[in-house]
Amino acid sequence: MKRSRINEIMAEADAFIRRHGFVLPPFAYWTPEAFAANTQAAAHVIDARCGWDITDYGDGRFDEMGLFLFTLRNGRLTDLQGGGGMCYAEKLLISRQDQLSPMHTHVLKAEDIINRGGATLVVELFGSDDTGGFAEDRGGQVACDGVMRSFAAGEKLKLAPGESVTLMPGDWHAFWGEGGDVLIGEVSTVNDDETDNIFREPIGRFAEIEEDEAPTHLLVSDYAARFRQG
C-alpha cells in the first residue's frame, strides 16, 4: 500500500469514528516526531503495539480485502499466562461495505465483536476439525449478546448496531459490511497480531508499505524499525 493512501484512510477513519461519538486517545494524533520524543513514556504503547493498523493482507486490494484497526489498549501475554493482571485488549475496527476480512481463527484469543454503529456487520462462521483446522462441514456454538446459539457451517450472522458475537479460539470467521460501512468494537483477551492470526489461505497479516510520502501518524508495524530495543 502507498503511504499516501494509508494517510488518507487514517483521516477518513478518524472522521467516521467521531461521527459515531467515539474519540481516539491523544497518542493517536502524535506525529512521528512527537512519538519519537515520547518514546520512553510510551514504552507500553510501543511494546503492546497499540495504535493505528491498516492492512490489505499483503494482497494490494484494500477496498476489496482489507481492514482498518486501532488498538486502544492491550495487556501483557505474561499476565495472561500467569492468570492475573492486564489480560485484556480493546480495539476499534472499520469494515467497509463489501470489504472482506478473510477467514481466520485464533489459537489464544477470545473476542467479542460488537457492531458499534453504521450498517450491518456480516460474520461468516465455520467450526474446526479435530486438530483445530478449518472444517468446511462443521458448525458450532457462539454467544450472541450473551445468549448461546448454534450455527451451521458457513452460516452468516447479521449483526445490527448494538449487537455482538463472542468468538472463541477455533471459531473460524470472516466478516464484512453490508449496506454500508460499520464501526466495530473488539473486546478480547490479550491480542498478538504477529502470531495469533491463523488464516485459511496463505496471506499476510500486515501490508507492505510504499513510502511515497511521509507518514501522518505511525502504524504499529512501523514501531519495530523506528524504536529498536537495546
User: Model confidence over 27-39: pLDDT tens digits?
Assistant: 999 999 999 999 9
What are the grid coordinates assigned to 218, written together? 505511525
- pTM listed for this prediction: 0.95
What is the distance between the alpha carbons of residues 71 and 17, in angstroms, rounded to a whole number?
13
What is the distance between the alpha carbons of residues 142 and 165, in angstroms, rounded to a whole number?
7
pLDDT tens-digit series, residues 45-72: 999 999 999 999 988 999 999 999 999 9
Among 86, 46, 51, 62, smallest CA distance to 8 is for 62
Indicate the range of 74-83, 116-125, 142-151, 176-185 predicted with least confidence: 74-83
- Please report which confidence band the pLDDT of residue 230 belongs to, taking 50, 70 and 90 as the band edges: very low
What CATH architecture does domain 3-226 belong to? Sandwich (2.60)
pLDDT tens-digit series, residues 148-197: 999 999 999 999 999 999 999 999 999 999 999 999 999 999 998 888 88
CB 146 within 8 A of CB 140: no
- Please report which confidence band the pLDDT of residue 205 belongs to, taking 50, 70 and 90 as the band edges: confident
pLDDT tens-digit series, residues 86-106: 999 999 999 999 999 999 999
- Please report which confidence band the pLDDT of residue 17 belongs to, taking 50, 70 and 90 as the band edges: very high
